[in-house]
Structure 1
């Protein structure tokens, strides 16, 4: 049960930009106090009693977070006590994105989020994210922050092409009692405002080319696990190829990995599909990661990982956060 999970959140990217101003002593003290309030509310969102209690905590959390972020130079405050809120930074630290989830008693989820920009004067520039994923049938969209496909982001990969920055977002959606989802999409900024999605996932080099996608979403069995992340060694996005274990392809909740892997390689400002990553001739000890049944007790609402991550992590050790 997700409510019994031990949560951990790893801030992967330190702030290294030219805007290194920190809050003054009074501002820092205020942010510490605000963080204590937000920590209590975030726990209620995650593990409060009933839908009403969790929703009430959410309604209090959002304005409390905004008030805290209005403190000058709040971008430099890590909010690292908010264990049930994922906070991700791109390599250039030009923004950070907060995301969190509210689980309903039905086992369905609603997501919340906001993008805070790293402003040169330390003042707040915030884009709230409005989850519309429950109300759309076409997920292959290009949309702004008011039509966001809600999820918990767990990684950001930045690429530069023709004087523009491209931020690839990796997200997880616990979805419903029968299935979960992972997604990858592009975030760009047009006239200073965020745009989610775009025709950046190309299948032009496949043996049978298909139209580009604005985002990739994989859905699979709740008790299973699937990889969808950037692999530094391969310098590409890697994800599991999924099949229905009951030979019912229309039922996504029956999908599991068939131990084959696909990917995307960055070429000419797009992620270009690679149909098969690992081939027969794999050096000894360098094989593809083998999916294993997911230990639900290790599952994290803010740091979703695949089975190979659990296999390689040191036992009984908590990840260490990199300080801002």
Structure 2
């Protein structure tokens, strides 16, 4: 069961939603009542068992059954009023990530179909003015597409990942939410994804767009709609947002054994690359340029919920979870988009 022990560690991701921007209007969202909290706790106990079994049961059929039970129970639970404000903190194998402006949260998890196929699953829950449920299920189609880097996608043809960070940016009056996520890609390699999420006029989620520019690279290449790195399964690889530098910083990878065609041989070499938000795009910064921005050769480290070995800091996790919920209660719920006349 060595695989499952490792797998259980890497997907323990409940991540911070930072406080960005200024609240311009008050929002009197009442806290959950004792009765409502108790009802959620009872459902959470069932969800916790199903979530654990999705990851840890040996039989593929049992994992599938647990996944189905988890989804049905989750949807039924989220239909209860004001479920958006209940954190589900005991679901340690499910990533529950609030947007910095508390307008939505994303729940993502992983289901191993067999020895070769790993599927990500999830849903976006929107915060609504009346506390009712507005949910967008996410359907992973990664295995069915050969060109994941050049397309805008909906929640129904999503490139799956377990998200661990949301970065909110603004450009010309529109909000852009950059998602960082982990993908247990294959038996021998992992991926990490960087994806921009926006919402259309009717409030529907849109993943991807011409947001990743490499125009300053020594070797020019076209704009990408999303970005990923693939690396050796056992390699500890940094890929995260550094708030002090306002950049997404990640390890520069090289092939171990000089086999560049084999992504499962790639490991960090001690250098770093980055993306910086400029004029509505993430501009790539090569390792040669990025090295000048570091002082004394030290990697800028922010406070993390997980270290590079996947170990969880429980005290930080609980503290930040409470901040996320308080932030959600304080901020105004987004107005529902006006319906088009028939």
Instruction: Provide the rounded CA distance (Å) in 2 between the counterparts of 1:97 and 1:283.
Output: 35
Distance 1:219 1:11, change over 3 A: closer
1:13 is matched with: 17
Quick one: distance in 1 between partners of 2:315 and 2:278? 36
| TM value normalised by structure 2 | 0.82
Alignment CA distance shift 1:144-1:305 (3 Å): farther
- The count of aligned residue pairs is 306
Please state whether the residue corresponding to 2:217 is helix, strand or coil. Answer: coil
User: What are the superposed Cα offsets for residues 8-41 of structure 1, whole Å, 9 maximum, x if unpaired?
Assistant: 5444238988363344443322211111110111
State the match for 2:317 in structure 1: 320
The DSSP-based 3-state class of the residue aligned with 1:211 is coil
The more displaced of 144-153 and 6-15 is 6-15
Per the TM alignment, residue 270 of structure 1 is displaced from its structure 2 partner at its CA by 0.9
Match of 2:200 among 161, 174, 190: 190
2:195 matches 1:152: no
1:306 and 2:311 correspond? no
Query: Aligned residue for 2:66?
Result: 57
Task: Give the match for residue 263 of structure 1.
Answer: 274
Deviation of 1:194 after TM superposition, in Å, equals 0.4
Higher mean C-alpha displacement, 238-247 vs 193-202: 238-247
Shift of 1:288: 3.3
Q: CA RMSD in A?
A: 2.5
Q: Distance in 2 between matches of 1:281 and 1:272?
A: 15
Q: What CA distance in whole angstroms lies between the structure 2 residues aligned with 1:19 and 1:138?
A: 46
Gaps of 5+ in 1: 291-302
Taking the TM superposition and a 5 Å limit, the aligned residue runs for 1:123-134 are: 123-134=132-143
Q: How does 1:1-324 map to 2 (within 5 A)?
A: 1-5=2-6, 7=9, 8-13=12-17, 18=27, 20-106=29-115, 108-140=117-149, 141-191=151-201, 192-276=203-287, 277-279=289-291, 283-284=295-296, 287-288=298-299, 306=308, 319-321=316-318, 322=320, 323=322, 324=325
Secondary structure (helix, strand or coil) at the match of 1:184 reads strand
SS in 2 for 1:66: helix
Quote the Cα distance in structure 2 between the aligned partners of 1:81 and 1:14.
21
d(CA) in 1 for partners of 2:244, 2:224: 25
Q: CA separation in 2, counterparts of 1:138 and 1:112?
A: 20
Q: Distance in 1 between matches of 2:173 and 2:279?
A: 13
Deviation track 1:98-155 (CA, whole Å, cap 9, x = no partner) reads 0000124415311110000011110000000001011111111210000011110011
| In structure 1, C-alpha distance between the alignment counterparts of 2:175 and 2:43, rounded to whole Å | 33
Distance 2:27 2:286 in 1: 41
**In structure 2, what is the Cα distance between the partners aligned to 1:21 and 1:217?**
41
Q: Which residue of 1 aligns with 2:337?
A: none
Cα offset, 1:241, TM superposition: 1.5
User: What TM-score do the two structures reach when normalised by structure 1?
Assistant: 0.87
Counterpart CA distance in 2 for 1:45 and 1:200 is: 34
